[in-house]
Amino acid sequence: SATIMGTQPLILQSAKVIHYLSQALKVAVMALTIGPKLEKKVSDYFSDGEYTSGLLLDAAGTAAVEVAADQVCEFIKKQAAQQGYLSLPRFSPGYGEWDITVQPLILELAHAHEINLTATDSCMLLPRKSITAIIGLTANQYDSSVSYMYQDTTCTQCAQINCLARKD
């Protein structure tokens, strides 16, 4: 196991996460949400029988939170570079074998209460259009034996080949 230190240490049990962080000198923790308004509107559409509108708005919300996450990652990448670090792609609970039960600890580490982001008892994020992730920060180079983990090829490395969001 490995540990991300914070007010409440996050003990990592996932071999993939430990491997992902194997060369990290620091770890950035992020939590973001587009808020609850979109969910309410989607629910209203479905309640009114406007299923296509609800489905399209829900998909737009998913795309919006992904774009927001990419922008946060880009910001972290620039900040890391200014401090002499290389920013790795984000890794979120639910990727591969990393269980979502770590959500409450990640939310605490990221001070997610400040943006009203919480997790249910089953560790699903609320509002639903939200993302938590860790980003490993390494020296300006990393060992090529683990470099496949660091390329922007998340989908090709994922075991969920029937995923609707798959990009390859």
Q: Which residues make beta-bridge pairs with 40?
A: none
Q: How far is CA 28 from the centre of its chain?
A: 11
Which pLDDT score, from 0 to 100, does residue 145 have?
Answer: 47
Does residue 26 lie within any of the structural domains?
Answer: yes
CATH of the domain at 93: 3.40.109.40
pTM surpassing 0.75? yes
Which pLDDT score, from 0 to 100, does residue 12 have?
Answer: 83
Overall number of domains in the chain: 1
Does residue 84 lie within any of the structural domains?
Answer: yes
Which pLDDT score, from 0 to 100, does residue 10 have?
Answer: 83
Does residue 162 lie within any of the structural domains?
Answer: no
Tell me which residue of 167, 168, 164 sits closest to 59, measured CA to CA. Answer: 164
Does residue 139 lie within any of the structural domains?
Answer: yes
Does residue 131 lie within any of the structural domains?
Answer: yes
Which pLDDT score, from 0 to 100, does residue 160 have?
Answer: 61
Q: Which domain holds residue 129?
A: 2-157
Which pLDDT score, from 0 to 100, does residue 13 have?
Answer: 81
- Per-position pLDDT tens, the chain of length 168: 678 877 778 888 888 888 888 888 999 999 999 999 999 999 999 999 999 999 999 999 999 999 999 999 999 999 999 999 999 889 999 887 889 999 999 999 999 999 999 999 999 999 999 999 999 999 866 554 444 444 445 566 666 666 555 565
Tell me which residue of 105, 91, 109 sits closest to 151, measured CA to CA. Answer: 91
- Pairing state between β 10-12 and 2-4: antiparallel
Give me the residue label for tokens 């939170």.
65
Which pLDDT score, from 0 to 100, does residue 143 have?
Answer: 52
Cis peptide before 36 (omega within 30 of 0): no
Which pLDDT score, from 0 to 100, does residue 61 have?
Answer: 97
Does residue 163 lie within any of the structural domains?
Answer: no
